[in-house]
């Protein structure tokens, strides 16, 4: 594929459509700047600041921009909150829609046939693949990203983290916990 993609890139550059120097910067940005650490900051802030959490649930695009972590963010970001009675999970059954600005590029499994096929009819089975079992009595809500709205899960703040700084809280927030296929880390893992 290396040669085939290089051929395509050369044609598009020679045609004047693209600038190879810009391509390198895009690749670098996705490798280094855009990633789930951004989402983790958002979650840690929501755990620490009730007013921010309300704003996030009300309009996540607006709230995240106001946080100033990213220079710009898309218009249609929606935060969905986990509670002791409800666990949220995000999928795109039709392609690979994913909140890039806050989570970076999606992992291979998110784009894979097993996840896309099963998330909507067997989310507990999917969770088992990730080694996650929800407490009895927890309902599941799956959000299929079939339009340009994008979803991020606001996981529950782990017990035993009273008084923690946002930086320390952010270290508990895993990518998968913001997709809904995982839970935040145990405080013992980062303390």
Minimum gap (Å) between residue 53 Cβ and another protein: 18
Is residue 169 classed exposed, middle or buried when 0-12, 13-18 and 19+ CB atoms within 10 A define those classes?
Answer: buried
Residues 133-162 that bind another protein (CB under 8 A): 138-149
Minimum gap (Å) between residue 119 Cβ and another protein: 8
Nearer to another protein, 54 or 76 (CB): 76
Q: Let me know if 61 is a catalytic residue.
A: no
Minimum gap (Å) between residue 88 Cβ and another protein: 10
Query: Which residue spans within 73-177 are E strands per DSSP?
Result: 77-81, 86-91, 139-144, 150-154
Nearer to another protein, 53 or 175 (CB): 175
Annotated catalytic residue within 61, 97, 117, 165 = 97
User: Binding another protein by CB under 8 A: which of 10, 83, 133, 186?
Assistant: 10
User: Binding another protein by CB under 8 A: which of 54, 66, 129, 189?
Assistant: 129
Minimum gap (Å) between residue 147 Cβ and another protein: 4
Choose the binding region for another protein from 37-45, 46-54, 73-81, 161-169 (rule: CB under 8 A). Answer: 73-81
Minimum gap (Å) between residue 163 Cβ and another protein: 31
Q: Let me know if 97 is a catalytic residue.
A: yes
186 lines the binding site for another protein (CB under 8 A): no
User: Binding another protein by CB under 8 A: which of 44, 67, 102, 126?
Assistant: 126
Token couple for 87:
């666990």
Annotated catalytic residue within 48, 61, 95, 145 = 95
Q: For the chain, give the secondary structure using H, E and C.
A: CHHHHHHHHHHHHHCCCCCHHHHHHHHHHHHHCCCHHHHHHHHHHHHHCHHHHHHHHHCHHHHHHHHCCCCCCCCCEEEEECECCEEEEEECCCCCCCCHHHHCCCCHHHHCHHHHHHCCCCHHHHHHHCCCCCCCCCEEEEEECCCCCEEEEECCCCCCCCCCCHHHHHCCCCHHHHHCCCCCCCHHHHC
Q: Let me know if 95 is a catalytic residue.
A: yes
Give the residue numbers annotated as catalytic, written as ranges. Answer: 92, 95-97
């Amino acid at each position: 594929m290396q040669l085939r993609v290089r051929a395509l890139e050369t044609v598009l550059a020679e045609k004047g459509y693209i600038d190879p120097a810009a391509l390198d910067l895009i690749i670098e940005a996705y490798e280094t700047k855009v990633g789930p650490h951004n989402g983790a900051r958002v979650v840690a802030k929501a755990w620490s600041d009730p007013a921010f959490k309300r704003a996030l649930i009300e309009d996540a695009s607006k709230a995240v921009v106001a946080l100033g972590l990213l220079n710009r963010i898309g218009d249609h970001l929606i935060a969905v909150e986990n509670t002791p009675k409800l666990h949220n999970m995000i999928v795109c059954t039709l392609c690979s829609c994913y909140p890039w600005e806050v989570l970076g590029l999606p992992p291979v499994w998110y784009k894979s046939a097993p996840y896309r096929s099963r998330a909507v009819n067997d989310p507990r089975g999917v969770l088992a693949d990730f080694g996650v079992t929800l407490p009895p009595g927890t309902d599941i809500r799956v959000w299929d990203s079939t339009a340009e709205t994008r979803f991020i899960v606001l996981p529950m703040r782990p017990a035993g983290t009273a008084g923690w700084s946002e930086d320390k809280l952010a270290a508990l927030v895993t990518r998968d916990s913001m997709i809904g296929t995982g839970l935040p880390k145990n405080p013992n893992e980062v303390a």
